[in-house]
């Protein structure tokens, strides 16, 4: 099985961007760790990041041919009906990750457009949330296979 680790806008800056909120781990570190954990769990993890909404939509469409998605939509979680519709249109299970606890932050981060069509959400567990989401996706793949 193959799982896509997809990160949205500004997450390429992880490690340098607001470390109080997001920590000092870089996106490269997270991707390396998830590929490694995927190996332990028996799935291939492929990684992508984009700052562009349309490219993220295309990536979700292409995930139709994959087995699962771990997705941090960044700020697009709060705004993007297009991403929500894309996730809704593709049967592949997708789990949403937010590094920070979005519910403890500004009110505009309390709403996620994408969360209602996700197979699960992890928020506020730091970068460990990506590992939790991958474990859940792998569990879902086992349930469906």
Give me the least distance between CB of 121 and ligand DQA, in Å please: 11
Q: Can you give the binding site for ligand DQA, defined by CB under 6 A?
A: 10, 72, 74-75, 98-100, 102, 109
d(CA 86, CA 84): 5
Q: How many CB atoms lie within 10 A of CB 44?
A: 13
Question: Do residues 45 and 83 touch, judged by C-beta distance below 8 A?
Answer: no
Q: Is 123 annotated as a binding residue?
A: no
Give me the least distance between CB of 126 and ligand DQA, in Å please: 9
Q: How many CB atoms lie within 10 A of CB 40?
A: 8
User: Coil, helix or strand for 52?
Assistant: coil
Q: Is 65 annotated as a binding residue?
A: no
Of 102 and 140, nearer to ligand DQA (C-beta) is: 102
76 has catalytic annotation: no
Of 11 and 138, nearer to ligand DQA (C-beta) is: 11
Phi (first) and psi of residue 73, to 5 degrees: -80, 0
Give me the least distance between CB of 75 and ligand DQA, in Å please: 3
d(CA 51, CA 120): 23
Give me the least distance between CB of 145 and ligand DQA, in Å please: 29
Q: Cα angle at 143 between 135 and 5, to 5 degrees? A: 35
CA 86 to chain centre: 14
Of 59 and 67, nearer to ligand DQA (C-beta) is: 59
52 has catalytic annotation: no
Q: Is 60 annotated as a binding residue?
A: no
Annotated binding site for substrate: 72, 78, 85, 99-100, 109
Query: Which active-site residues does the annotation give?
Result: 22, 98
Annotated binding site: 72, 78, 85, 99-100, 109
């Amino acid at each position: 099985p193959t799982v896509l680790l997809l990160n949205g806008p500004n997450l390429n800056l992880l490690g340098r961007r607001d470390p109080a909120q997001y920590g000092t781990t870089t996106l490269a570190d997270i991707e390396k760790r998830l590929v490694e954990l995927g190996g332990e769990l028996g799935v291939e993890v492929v990684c992508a990041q984009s700052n562009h909404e349309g490219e993220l939509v295309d990536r979700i469409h292409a995930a139709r041919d994959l087995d699962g998605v771990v997705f941090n939509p960044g700020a697009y979680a709060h705004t993007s009906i297009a991403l929500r519709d894309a996730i809704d249109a593709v049967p592949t299970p997708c789990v949403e990750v937010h590094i920070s606890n979005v519910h403890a932050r500004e009110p505009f981060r309390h709403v996620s457009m994408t969360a209602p069509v996700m197979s699960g959400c992890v928020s506020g567990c730091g970068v460990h949330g990506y590992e939790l989401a991958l474990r859940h996706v792998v569990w879902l793949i086992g349930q469906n296979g």
